[in-house]
Structure 1
Amino acid sequence: MVTDNFLSTLNSLGELEQWCKNNLNIPTNENEAFVVSYKILYDNEEYEDDEDVEENDGNRFRIFISSIRLLNIISMSSYVCSDATYQLVWQDCPVLIVGTTDLNKAFHPFDLAICSNEKTKDFEFIFNCIQIGLKKNKDLLKPTALICDAADAIKNVFGNSYNQIMCWAHMKRNVENRISHINDKDIAKEILEDIEMLQLCNSTIIFQLASTLSSNIVSNWSIERDASSINVKLFVTEPTISLKLWTSSCRWATSTKDITCIPNDSSKQYYIPARDLQSITQVNLDKYENKNEQLLINSKNHLIFGNYLSKHVVGMAIRLKYCKPPAAAKTVPIGEKRKRGRPTMVKPALPVQ
Protein backbone atom coordinates (compact mmCIF):
# COMPACT_ATOMS: atom_id res chain seq x y z
CA MET A 1 0.00 0.00 0.00
CA VAL A 2 1.51 3.33 -1.09
CA THR A 3 1.33 6.24 1.41
CA ASP A 4 2.26 9.89 1.19
CA ASN A 5 5.61 10.74 2.81
CA PHE A 6 4.05 14.04 3.86
CA LEU A 7 2.37 12.17 6.73
CA SER A 8 5.72 11.75 8.46
CA THR A 9 6.35 15.53 8.48
CA LEU A 10 3.10 16.61 10.15
CA ASN A 11 3.55 18.55 13.38
CA SER A 12 0.04 19.75 14.30
CA LEU A 13 -3.55 18.54 14.28
CA GLY A 14 -4.42 21.26 11.79
CA GLU A 15 -1.88 19.95 9.30
CA LEU A 16 -3.09 16.40 9.93
CA GLU A 17 -6.71 17.38 9.30
CA GLN A 18 -5.78 19.15 6.07
CA TRP A 19 -3.81 16.09 4.92
CA CYS A 20 -6.84 13.87 5.58
CA LYS A 21 -9.13 16.17 3.57
CA ASN A 22 -6.69 16.15 0.66
CA ASN A 23 -6.64 12.32 0.58
CA LEU A 24 -10.36 11.50 0.89
CA ASN A 25 -10.94 10.96 -2.83
CA ILE A 26 -10.96 7.36 -4.04
CA PRO A 27 -8.00 6.88 -6.41
CA THR A 28 -8.16 5.02 -9.71
CA ASN A 29 -5.08 3.00 -8.80
CA GLU A 30 -6.21 -0.01 -6.72
CA ASN A 31 -2.93 0.00 -4.79
CA GLU A 32 -2.93 3.69 -3.88
CA ALA A 33 -3.77 4.52 -0.28
CA PHE A 34 -6.52 6.95 0.63
CA VAL A 35 -8.25 8.14 3.79
CA VAL A 36 -11.50 6.22 4.18
CA SER A 37 -12.56 8.30 7.17
CA TYR A 38 -11.08 10.40 9.95
CA LYS A 39 -12.09 12.18 13.14
CA ILE A 40 -10.16 14.93 14.90
CA LEU A 41 -11.23 16.47 18.22
CA TYR A 42 -9.57 19.60 19.54
CA ASP A 43 -9.36 20.49 23.22
CA ASN A 44 -11.99 23.25 22.88
CA GLU A 45 -14.62 20.94 21.38
CA GLU A 46 -17.28 18.98 23.25
CA TYR A 47 -16.69 15.25 23.54
CA GLU A 48 -19.27 12.57 22.94
CA ASP A 49 -18.54 10.69 26.15
CA ASP A 50 -15.91 10.15 28.82
CA GLU A 51 -13.87 7.87 26.56
CA ASP A 52 -13.16 10.82 24.27
CA VAL A 53 -11.42 12.67 27.08
CA GLU A 54 -7.66 12.32 27.25
CA GLU A 55 -6.15 12.52 30.74
CA ASN A 56 -3.10 14.58 29.73
CA ASP A 57 -4.30 16.29 26.56
CA GLY A 58 -7.77 16.95 25.18
CA ASN A 59 -6.67 16.63 21.54
CA ARG A 60 -7.83 13.37 19.97
CA PHE A 61 -7.63 11.98 16.46
CA ARG A 62 -8.57 8.82 14.55
CA ILE A 63 -7.51 8.07 10.97
CA PHE A 64 -8.36 5.06 8.82
CA ILE A 65 -6.24 4.45 5.69
CA SER A 66 -6.78 1.66 3.17
CA SER A 67 -6.79 0.90 -0.57
CA ILE A 68 -9.27 -0.49 -3.09
CA ARG A 69 -7.46 -3.83 -3.28
CA LEU A 70 -7.39 -4.27 0.50
CA LEU A 71 -11.08 -3.38 0.75
CA ASN A 72 -11.82 -6.08 -1.82
CA ILE A 73 -10.21 -8.66 0.46
CA ILE A 74 -12.63 -7.74 3.25
CA SER A 75 -15.64 -8.90 1.26
CA MET A 76 -14.06 -12.36 0.83
CA SER A 77 -13.37 -12.91 4.54
CA SER A 78 -15.59 -14.28 7.28
CA TYR A 79 -13.16 -13.83 10.20
CA VAL A 80 -11.87 -10.51 11.45
CA CYS A 81 -8.57 -10.23 13.34
CA SER A 82 -7.88 -7.07 15.32
CA ASP A 83 -5.12 -5.83 17.61
CA ALA A 84 -2.94 -2.85 18.46
CA THR A 85 0.81 -2.90 17.95
CA TYR A 86 3.49 -0.73 19.47
CA GLN A 87 6.09 -2.21 17.14
CA LEU A 88 4.78 0.35 14.64
CA VAL A 89 3.89 3.80 15.96
CA TRP A 90 3.33 7.31 14.64
CA GLN A 91 3.89 10.28 16.96
CA ASP A 92 4.07 7.71 19.83
CA CYS A 93 0.53 6.54 18.98
CA PRO A 94 -0.14 2.85 18.30
CA VAL A 95 -1.08 1.58 14.89
CA LEU A 96 -4.33 -0.40 15.06
CA ILE A 97 -4.54 -3.26 12.59
CA VAL A 98 -7.61 -5.12 11.34
CA GLY A 99 -7.25 -8.02 8.93
CA THR A 100 -8.02 -11.66 8.26
CA THR A 101 -6.29 -14.95 7.46
CA ASP A 102 -6.64 -17.16 4.41
CA LEU A 103 -6.71 -20.95 4.19
CA ASN A 104 -2.91 -21.02 4.13
CA LYS A 105 -2.88 -19.22 7.51
CA ALA A 106 -1.39 -16.09 5.93
CA PHE A 107 -2.44 -12.76 7.42
CA HIS A 108 -3.92 -10.07 5.13
CA PRO A 109 -4.42 -6.56 6.57
CA PHE A 110 -7.44 -4.44 5.71
CA ASP A 111 -6.17 -1.09 6.83
CA LEU A 112 -3.67 1.01 8.68
CA ALA A 113 -5.43 2.97 11.42
CA ILE A 114 -3.77 5.52 13.68
CA CYS A 115 -5.53 6.61 16.86
CA SER A 116 -4.42 8.66 19.83
CA ASN A 117 -5.68 5.87 22.09
CA GLU A 118 -6.86 2.27 21.90
CA LYS A 119 -10.20 2.27 23.69
CA THR A 120 -13.60 0.95 22.65
CA LYS A 121 -14.47 4.15 20.76
CA ASP A 122 -11.28 3.85 18.71
CA PHE A 123 -12.01 0.29 17.60
CA GLU A 124 -15.65 1.19 17.01
CA PHE A 125 -14.44 3.94 14.67
CA ILE A 126 -12.24 1.43 12.81
CA PHE A 127 -15.01 -1.12 12.25
CA ASN A 128 -17.38 1.63 11.11
CA CYS A 129 -14.71 2.79 8.66
CA ILE A 130 -14.52 -0.73 7.23
CA GLN A 131 -18.25 -0.60 6.51
CA ILE A 132 -17.86 2.88 4.99
CA GLY A 133 -15.05 1.64 2.75
CA LEU A 134 -17.06 -1.36 1.63
CA LYS A 135 -20.04 0.83 0.78
CA LYS A 136 -17.76 2.92 -1.38
CA ASN A 137 -16.69 -0.33 -3.01
CA LYS A 138 -20.31 -1.56 -3.12
CA ASP A 139 -19.62 -4.49 -0.80
CA LEU A 140 -20.67 -5.42 2.73
CA LEU A 141 -18.75 -6.93 5.62
CA LYS A 142 -20.43 -10.04 7.02
CA PRO A 143 -18.00 -11.53 9.59
CA THR A 144 -18.95 -14.61 11.58
CA ALA A 145 -16.27 -14.29 14.28
CA LEU A 146 -13.85 -11.82 15.83
CA ILE A 147 -10.32 -13.03 16.61
CA CYS A 148 -8.49 -10.88 19.17
CA ASP A 149 -6.83 -10.92 22.57
CA ALA A 150 -8.72 -10.44 25.84
CA ALA A 151 -8.88 -6.64 25.52
CA ASP A 152 -12.38 -5.42 26.38
CA ALA A 153 -11.87 -2.39 24.13
CA ILE A 154 -11.97 -4.68 21.08
CA LYS A 155 -14.56 -7.21 22.27
CA ASN A 156 -17.07 -4.57 23.37
CA VAL A 157 -17.38 -3.28 19.81
CA PHE A 158 -18.87 -6.55 18.57
CA GLY A 159 -20.75 -7.35 21.76
CA ASN A 160 -22.69 -10.60 21.38
CA SER A 161 -23.40 -10.13 17.67
CA TYR A 162 -20.54 -12.41 16.57
CA ASN A 163 -18.56 -15.29 17.96
CA GLN A 164 -15.43 -14.18 19.77
CA ILE A 165 -12.29 -16.30 19.43
CA MET A 166 -9.27 -15.78 21.64
CA CYS A 167 -6.05 -15.31 19.70
CA TRP A 168 -4.05 -18.51 20.29
CA ALA A 169 -0.67 -16.74 20.36
CA HIS A 170 -1.80 -14.37 23.12
CA MET A 171 -3.44 -17.17 25.07
CA LYS A 172 -0.42 -19.50 24.86
CA ARG A 173 1.99 -16.79 26.02
CA ASN A 174 -0.20 -16.08 29.05
CA VAL A 175 -0.41 -19.80 29.90
CA GLU A 176 3.37 -20.17 29.59
CA ASN A 177 3.86 -17.22 31.94
CA ARG A 178 1.57 -18.88 34.49
CA ILE A 179 2.99 -22.40 34.39
CA SER A 180 6.57 -21.09 34.52
CA HIS A 181 6.06 -20.85 38.29
CA ILE A 182 5.51 -24.63 38.57
CA ASN A 183 8.67 -26.25 39.92
CA ASP A 184 8.03 -29.63 38.29
CA LYS A 185 8.82 -28.91 34.63
CA ASP A 186 7.39 -32.26 33.50
CA ILE A 187 3.98 -31.39 34.97
CA ALA A 188 4.16 -27.91 33.43
CA LYS A 189 4.90 -29.46 30.04
CA GLU A 190 1.97 -31.89 30.35
CA ILE A 191 -0.42 -29.05 31.25
CA LEU A 192 0.63 -27.06 28.18
CA GLU A 193 0.33 -30.13 25.93
CA ASP A 194 -3.20 -30.81 27.24
CA ILE A 195 -4.22 -27.22 26.50
CA GLU A 196 -2.71 -27.44 23.01
CA MET A 197 -4.65 -30.65 22.31
CA LEU A 198 -7.86 -28.98 23.49
CA GLN A 199 -7.15 -26.01 21.22
CA LEU A 200 -6.85 -28.32 18.20
CA CYS A 201 -10.30 -29.81 18.83
CA ASN A 202 -12.36 -29.21 15.69
CA SER A 203 -15.69 -30.08 17.31
CA THR A 204 -17.51 -27.36 19.22
CA ILE A 205 -19.45 -29.93 21.25
CA ILE A 206 -16.32 -31.82 22.34
CA PHE A 207 -14.54 -28.56 23.14
CA GLN A 208 -17.44 -27.40 25.32
CA LEU A 209 -17.56 -30.77 27.09
CA ALA A 210 -13.83 -30.63 27.81
CA SER A 211 -14.13 -27.03 28.99
CA THR A 212 -17.05 -27.92 31.28
CA LEU A 213 -15.17 -30.95 32.63
CA SER A 214 -12.12 -28.83 33.44
CA SER A 215 -14.28 -26.26 35.22
CA ASN A 216 -16.04 -28.98 37.22
CA ILE A 217 -12.73 -30.53 38.28
CA VAL A 218 -11.44 -27.21 39.56
CA SER A 219 -14.76 -26.52 41.29
CA ASN A 220 -14.70 -29.92 43.02
CA TRP A 221 -11.13 -29.34 44.19
CA SER A 222 -12.26 -26.07 45.73
CA ILE A 223 -15.35 -27.59 47.39
CA GLU A 224 -13.25 -30.38 48.95
CA ARG A 225 -11.17 -27.73 50.72
CA ASP A 226 -14.15 -25.76 52.03
CA ALA A 227 -14.06 -25.78 55.84
CA SER A 228 -17.82 -26.40 55.96
CA SER A 229 -17.62 -29.51 53.76
CA ILE A 230 -17.82 -33.09 55.03
CA ASN A 231 -14.41 -34.81 54.98
CA VAL A 232 -12.77 -31.47 54.31
CA LYS A 233 -9.19 -31.54 53.01
CA LEU A 234 -7.53 -28.84 55.04
CA PHE A 235 -4.16 -27.37 54.17
CA VAL A 236 -1.89 -28.71 56.91
CA THR A 237 0.64 -26.20 58.21
CA GLU A 238 2.18 -28.60 60.76
CA PRO A 239 3.00 -32.31 60.34
CA THR A 240 0.47 -34.67 61.91
CA ILE A 241 1.82 -37.00 64.60
CA SER A 242 0.16 -40.40 64.50
CA LEU A 243 -0.61 -42.47 67.60
CA LYS A 244 2.00 -45.00 66.49
CA LEU A 245 4.66 -42.29 66.38
CA TRP A 246 3.52 -40.89 69.74
CA THR A 247 3.81 -44.36 71.29
CA SER A 248 7.30 -45.09 69.92
CA SER A 249 8.41 -41.57 70.90
CA CYS A 250 7.17 -42.05 74.48
CA ARG A 251 9.08 -45.31 74.79
CA TRP A 252 12.21 -43.70 73.40
CA ALA A 253 11.84 -40.69 75.72
CA THR A 254 11.84 -42.98 78.77
CA SER A 255 15.04 -44.73 77.70
CA THR A 256 18.27 -44.32 79.65
CA LYS A 257 20.36 -43.04 76.76
CA ASP A 258 22.81 -40.29 77.60
CA ILE A 259 22.02 -37.34 75.30
CA THR A 260 24.63 -34.62 74.91
CA CYS A 261 23.62 -30.99 74.32
CA ILE A 262 26.02 -28.48 72.73
CA PRO A 263 24.58 -24.93 72.75
CA ASN A 264 25.73 -22.05 70.57
CA ASP A 265 24.66 -18.43 70.13
CA SER A 266 21.41 -19.14 68.29
CA SER A 267 20.47 -22.78 68.89
CA LYS A 268 21.14 -26.01 70.70
CA GLN A 269 22.32 -29.22 69.08
CA TYR A 270 21.39 -32.54 70.68
CA TYR A 271 23.55 -35.58 69.96
CA ILE A 272 21.90 -38.97 70.43
CA PRO A 273 23.86 -42.25 70.59
CA ALA A 274 23.11 -45.07 68.20
CA ARG A 275 20.88 -47.99 69.16
CA ASP A 276 23.66 -50.16 70.60
CA LEU A 277 25.25 -47.32 72.59
CA GLN A 278 24.08 -45.77 75.83
CA SER A 279 26.36 -42.74 75.71
CA ILE A 280 28.54 -40.68 73.38
CA THR A 281 32.18 -40.00 74.06
CA GLN A 282 33.92 -36.75 73.25
CA VAL A 283 36.02 -38.61 70.69
CA ASN A 284 32.88 -39.64 68.81
CA LEU A 285 31.57 -36.06 68.91
CA ASP A 286 34.80 -34.66 67.51
CA LYS A 287 34.79 -37.29 64.79
CA TYR A 288 31.20 -36.45 63.92
CA GLU A 289 31.78 -32.69 63.82
CA ASN A 290 34.78 -33.11 61.54
CA LYS A 291 32.52 -34.71 58.95
CA ASN A 292 30.54 -31.44 58.82
CA GLU A 293 27.27 -33.25 58.19
CA GLN A 294 24.12 -31.17 57.94
CA LEU A 295 21.72 -33.87 59.08
CA LEU A 296 22.27 -33.96 62.85
CA ILE A 297 19.65 -36.47 63.91
CA ASN A 298 18.87 -39.64 62.01
CA SER A 299 17.62 -43.12 62.60
CA LYS A 300 17.62 -46.38 60.70
CA ASN A 301 14.02 -46.15 59.54
CA HIS A 302 13.35 -42.40 59.39
CA LEU A 303 15.06 -39.29 58.11
CA ILE A 304 13.91 -35.99 59.51
CA PHE A 305 14.01 -34.20 56.20
CA GLY A 306 12.34 -37.11 54.45
CA ASN A 307 9.37 -37.68 56.75
CA TYR A 308 9.66 -34.40 58.69
CA LEU A 309 9.40 -36.22 62.04
CA SER A 310 10.96 -39.25 63.71
CA LYS A 311 10.65 -40.76 67.17
CA HIS A 312 13.89 -38.99 68.12
CA VAL A 313 12.52 -35.53 67.34
CA VAL A 314 9.18 -36.13 69.07
CA GLY A 315 10.92 -37.93 71.93
CA MET A 316 13.27 -34.97 72.49
CA ALA A 317 10.27 -32.64 72.52
CA ILE A 318 8.68 -34.85 75.20
CA ARG A 319 11.89 -34.87 77.26
CA LEU A 320 12.22 -31.10 77.06
CA LYS A 321 8.50 -30.74 77.93
CA TYR A 322 7.76 -28.88 74.71
CA CYS A 323 4.74 -31.10 74.12
CA LYS A 324 2.57 -33.56 76.00
CA PRO A 325 1.77 -36.93 74.43
CA PRO A 326 -1.81 -38.21 74.49
CA ALA A 327 -2.79 -40.68 77.21
CA ALA A 328 -3.30 -43.47 74.68
CA ALA A 329 0.39 -43.33 73.77
CA LYS A 330 1.49 -43.99 77.36
CA THR A 331 -0.58 -47.10 78.05
CA VAL A 332 1.05 -50.53 78.36
CA PRO A 333 0.50 -52.47 75.14
CA ILE A 334 -2.08 -55.24 75.39
CA GLY A 335 -0.68 -58.73 75.05
CA GLU A 336 2.08 -58.78 77.66
CA LYS A 337 1.92 -62.01 79.74
CA ARG A 338 1.93 -62.10 83.55
CA LYS A 339 2.21 -64.91 86.05
CA ARG A 340 -0.79 -67.09 86.70
CA GLY A 341 -2.80 -66.66 89.90
CA ARG A 342 -3.61 -63.75 92.12
CA PRO A 343 -0.80 -61.17 92.40
CA THR A 344 0.92 -60.88 95.75
CA MET A 345 -0.43 -57.98 97.80
CA VAL A 346 2.32 -57.90 100.50
CA LYS A 347 5.85 -59.09 100.73
CA PRO A 348 6.47 -62.12 102.95
CA ALA A 349 7.88 -61.37 106.40
CA LEU A 350 11.53 -61.91 107.03
CA PRO A 351 12.13 -65.43 108.25
CA VAL A 352 12.91 -65.58 111.93
CA GLN A 353 16.24 -67.24 112.63
Structure 2
Amino acid sequence: MNERELVLIADGAEAISNAFSKVFGTDHNIVMCWFHMRKCVEKNLYLVEDEASDDEIMNDIETLQLSKNKKIFDITTRLFLKKWKNQERFIQYLSSEWLESKNGWYKGLAMYVPSTNNALEATNRVIKDEDTLRERLVLSRFTVVLFSIVNKWSKERNPTLINSKKFEYQPLIALSHWTDAYNWVKLNKEVISIFNGDTTIYYVPAGEKITITDKEIKRYET
Protein backbone atom coordinates (compact mmCIF):
# COMPACT_ATOMS: atom_id res chain seq x y z
CA MET A 1 0.00 0.00 0.00
CA ASN A 2 1.18 3.50 -0.80
CA GLU A 3 2.07 5.34 2.41
CA ARG A 4 -0.30 8.14 1.42
CA GLU A 5 -3.13 5.61 1.63
CA LEU A 6 -2.29 4.57 5.18
CA VAL A 7 -5.23 4.50 7.59
CA LEU A 8 -5.10 3.66 11.27
CA ILE A 9 -8.04 1.77 12.75
CA ALA A 10 -7.86 1.83 16.54
CA ASP A 11 -10.01 1.77 19.65
CA GLY A 12 -9.42 5.36 20.68
CA ALA A 13 -6.36 4.75 22.85
CA GLU A 14 -4.35 7.97 22.65
CA ALA A 15 -1.03 6.12 22.92
CA ILE A 16 -1.76 4.24 19.67
CA SER A 17 -2.98 7.32 17.80
CA ASN A 18 -0.08 9.46 19.00
CA ALA A 19 2.48 6.82 18.04
CA PHE A 20 0.95 6.47 14.56
CA SER A 21 0.94 10.24 14.01
CA LYS A 22 4.52 10.57 15.24
CA VAL A 23 5.79 7.89 12.86
CA PHE A 24 3.65 8.56 9.77
CA GLY A 25 2.65 12.19 10.27
CA THR A 26 -0.72 13.82 10.79
CA ASP A 27 -1.92 13.72 7.18
CA HIS A 28 -3.46 10.25 7.53
CA ASN A 29 -6.96 9.39 8.66
CA ILE A 30 -7.44 7.77 12.04
CA VAL A 31 -10.59 5.66 12.09
CA MET A 32 -12.26 5.11 15.43
CA CYS A 33 -13.32 1.48 15.75
CA TRP A 34 -17.10 1.46 15.26
CA PHE A 35 -17.53 -1.60 17.50
CA HIS A 36 -15.78 0.04 20.45
CA MET A 37 -17.59 3.33 19.92
CA ARG A 38 -20.98 1.61 19.79
CA LYS A 39 -20.30 -0.40 22.95
CA CYS A 40 -19.26 2.72 24.84
CA VAL A 41 -22.40 4.57 23.77
CA GLU A 42 -24.60 1.64 24.77
CA LYS A 43 -23.05 1.65 28.24
CA ASN A 44 -24.00 5.31 28.63
CA LEU A 45 -27.60 5.00 27.52
CA TYR A 46 -28.51 5.28 31.20
CA LEU A 47 -28.06 9.02 30.64
CA VAL A 48 -31.18 8.98 28.46
CA GLU A 49 -34.12 10.01 30.60
CA ASP A 50 -36.68 8.04 28.60
CA GLU A 51 -35.57 4.41 28.37
CA ALA A 52 -38.10 3.81 25.61
CA SER A 53 -35.99 6.04 23.35
CA ASP A 54 -32.85 3.91 23.64
CA ASP A 55 -33.44 1.82 20.52
CA GLU A 56 -34.37 4.82 18.39
CA ILE A 57 -31.29 6.73 19.51
CA MET A 58 -29.02 3.81 18.66
CA ASN A 59 -30.71 3.41 15.28
CA ASP A 60 -30.06 7.09 14.57
CA ILE A 61 -26.40 6.75 15.59
CA GLU A 62 -26.06 3.73 13.31
CA THR A 63 -27.42 5.90 10.50
CA LEU A 64 -24.82 8.56 11.31
CA GLN A 65 -22.11 5.92 11.04
CA LEU A 66 -23.13 5.19 7.45
CA SER A 67 -22.44 8.77 6.31
CA LYS A 68 -20.47 8.57 3.06
CA ASN A 69 -18.53 11.82 3.59
CA LYS A 70 -17.88 14.55 6.16
CA LYS A 71 -20.49 16.89 4.69
CA ILE A 72 -23.26 14.35 5.15
CA PHE A 73 -21.93 13.40 8.59
CA ASP A 74 -21.97 17.04 9.74
CA ILE A 75 -25.49 17.61 8.41
CA THR A 76 -26.95 14.45 9.91
CA THR A 77 -25.16 15.14 13.19
CA ARG A 78 -26.82 18.55 13.45
CA LEU A 79 -30.19 16.94 12.76
CA PHE A 80 -29.50 14.29 15.39
CA LEU A 81 -28.57 16.88 18.01
CA LYS A 82 -31.67 18.90 17.18
CA LYS A 83 -33.92 15.84 17.40
CA TRP A 84 -32.61 14.73 20.79
CA LYS A 85 -31.82 18.12 22.33
CA ASN A 86 -34.09 17.36 25.30
CA GLN A 87 -31.81 14.49 26.32
CA GLU A 88 -29.27 16.96 27.65
CA ARG A 89 -27.12 14.57 29.71
CA PHE A 90 -26.73 12.06 26.91
CA ILE A 91 -26.13 14.71 24.26
CA GLN A 92 -23.44 16.28 26.42
CA TYR A 93 -21.72 12.90 26.74
CA LEU A 94 -21.98 12.08 23.03
CA SER A 95 -20.75 15.52 21.98
CA SER A 96 -17.72 15.59 24.26
CA GLU A 97 -16.66 11.99 23.67
CA TRP A 98 -17.60 11.21 20.07
CA LEU A 99 -18.27 14.43 18.18
CA GLU A 100 -15.78 17.00 19.43
CA SER A 101 -13.04 14.36 19.65
CA LYS A 102 -12.62 10.77 18.45
CA ASN A 103 -15.16 11.54 15.73
CA GLY A 104 -13.62 9.35 13.05
CA TRP A 105 -16.22 6.59 13.39
CA TYR A 106 -18.32 7.34 10.31
CA LYS A 107 -17.87 5.17 7.23
CA GLY A 108 -17.04 7.94 4.78
CA LEU A 109 -13.86 8.96 6.59
CA ALA A 110 -12.04 6.05 4.95
CA MET A 111 -14.00 4.11 2.38
CA TYR A 112 -13.21 0.49 1.50
CA VAL A 113 -11.44 -0.25 4.78
CA PRO A 114 -12.79 -2.13 7.81
CA SER A 115 -14.92 -0.18 10.27
CA THR A 116 -13.58 -2.09 13.26
CA ASN A 117 -10.30 -3.52 14.49
CA ASN A 118 -12.02 -6.64 15.83
CA ALA A 119 -9.82 -9.02 13.83
CA LEU A 120 -6.70 -7.54 15.40
CA GLU A 121 -8.33 -7.57 18.83
CA ALA A 122 -9.08 -11.27 18.42
CA THR A 123 -5.40 -11.98 17.79
CA ASN A 124 -4.48 -9.73 20.70
CA ARG A 125 -6.73 -11.77 22.97
CA VAL A 126 -5.05 -15.02 21.91
CA ILE A 127 -1.65 -13.56 22.78
CA LYS A 128 -2.89 -12.46 26.19
CA ASP A 129 -4.70 -15.71 27.01
CA GLU A 130 -2.13 -18.20 25.71
CA ASP A 131 1.25 -16.48 25.88
CA THR A 132 1.57 -13.48 28.19
CA LEU A 133 -1.20 -14.78 30.48
CA ARG A 134 -2.31 -11.15 30.80
CA GLU A 135 0.85 -10.15 32.64
CA ARG A 136 2.78 -6.95 31.96
CA LEU A 137 6.16 -8.32 30.96
CA VAL A 138 9.46 -6.48 30.98
CA LEU A 139 10.88 -5.93 27.49
CA SER A 140 13.52 -8.65 27.77
CA ARG A 141 10.98 -11.27 28.79
CA PHE A 142 8.44 -10.05 26.23
CA THR A 143 11.03 -10.45 23.46
CA VAL A 144 11.49 -14.10 24.42
CA VAL A 145 7.72 -14.60 24.38
CA LEU A 146 7.48 -12.98 20.94
CA PHE A 147 10.01 -15.41 19.46
CA SER A 148 8.05 -18.26 21.01
CA ILE A 149 4.80 -16.97 19.47
CA VAL A 150 6.32 -16.63 16.00
CA ASN A 151 7.78 -20.13 16.21
CA LYS A 152 4.47 -21.63 17.35
CA TRP A 153 2.36 -19.82 14.76
CA SER A 154 4.76 -20.74 11.97
CA LYS A 155 4.43 -24.42 12.81
CA GLU A 156 0.64 -24.20 13.16
CA ARG A 157 0.38 -22.66 9.69
CA ASN A 158 2.82 -24.97 7.94
CA PRO A 159 0.82 -26.06 4.85
CA THR A 160 2.61 -29.41 4.74
CA LEU A 161 0.99 -30.48 8.01
CA ILE A 162 -2.36 -32.29 7.96
CA ASN A 163 -3.95 -30.22 10.72
CA SER A 164 -2.40 -26.89 9.76
CA LYS A 165 -4.36 -23.67 10.13
CA LYS A 166 -5.16 -22.55 6.61
CA PHE A 167 -4.99 -18.95 5.55
CA GLU A 168 -8.21 -17.94 3.82
CA TYR A 169 -7.71 -15.85 0.70
CA GLN A 170 -11.38 -15.01 0.32
CA PRO A 171 -14.30 -14.72 2.75
CA LEU A 172 -16.42 -17.77 3.44
CA ILE A 173 -20.10 -17.10 2.81
CA ALA A 174 -22.40 -18.94 5.20
CA LEU A 175 -25.55 -20.66 3.98
CA SER A 176 -27.66 -18.22 6.00
CA HIS A 177 -26.14 -15.32 4.04
CA TRP A 178 -26.91 -17.03 0.73
CA THR A 179 -30.48 -17.55 1.93
CA ASP A 180 -30.86 -13.90 2.94
CA ALA A 181 -29.46 -12.79 -0.41
CA TYR A 182 -31.84 -15.08 -2.30
CA ASN A 183 -34.85 -13.79 -0.36
CA TRP A 184 -33.76 -10.20 -0.98
CA VAL A 185 -33.41 -10.78 -4.72
CA LYS A 186 -36.95 -12.18 -4.78
CA LEU A 187 -38.21 -8.79 -3.57
CA ASN A 188 -37.32 -7.52 -7.05
CA LYS A 189 -36.29 -4.09 -5.79
CA GLU A 190 -35.13 -1.48 -8.27
CA VAL A 191 -31.38 -0.85 -8.04
CA ILE A 192 -30.08 2.35 -9.62
CA SER A 193 -26.37 2.77 -10.30
CA ILE A 194 -24.81 6.17 -10.96
CA PHE A 195 -21.23 6.49 -12.18
CA ASN A 196 -19.21 9.30 -10.64
CA GLY A 197 -15.64 9.31 -11.89
CA ASP A 198 -14.01 6.10 -10.71
CA THR A 199 -16.81 5.43 -8.23
CA THR A 200 -20.18 3.78 -8.73
CA ILE A 201 -22.96 4.73 -6.32
CA TYR A 202 -25.91 2.37 -5.90
CA TYR A 203 -29.33 3.46 -4.69
CA VAL A 204 -31.81 0.92 -3.32
CA PRO A 205 -35.29 1.70 -1.93
CA ALA A 206 -35.59 1.16 1.79
CA GLY A 207 -38.23 -0.75 3.71
CA GLU A 208 -41.01 -2.32 1.68
CA LYS A 209 -40.68 0.10 -1.24
CA ILE A 210 -39.81 -1.43 -4.59
CA THR A 211 -38.81 1.65 -6.57
CA ILE A 212 -36.90 4.84 -5.87
CA THR A 213 -37.54 8.18 -7.58
CA ASP A 214 -35.10 10.73 -8.99
CA LYS A 215 -36.48 13.21 -6.47
CA GLU A 216 -35.52 10.93 -3.58
CA ILE A 217 -32.03 10.46 -5.00
CA LYS A 218 -31.52 14.20 -5.41
CA ARG A 219 -32.80 14.81 -1.88
CA TYR A 220 -30.26 12.31 -0.56
CA GLU A 221 -27.41 13.85 -2.56
CA THR A 222 -28.15 17.34 -1.25
| Larger RCO of the pair (alpha carbons < 8 Å, separation 6+) | 2
TM-score bin, normalised by smaller chain? 0.3 to 0.5
Whichever of the two has the greater Rg, that structure is 1
Give the structure with the larger helix fraction: 2
Q: Normalising by structure 1, what TM-score?
A: 0.23
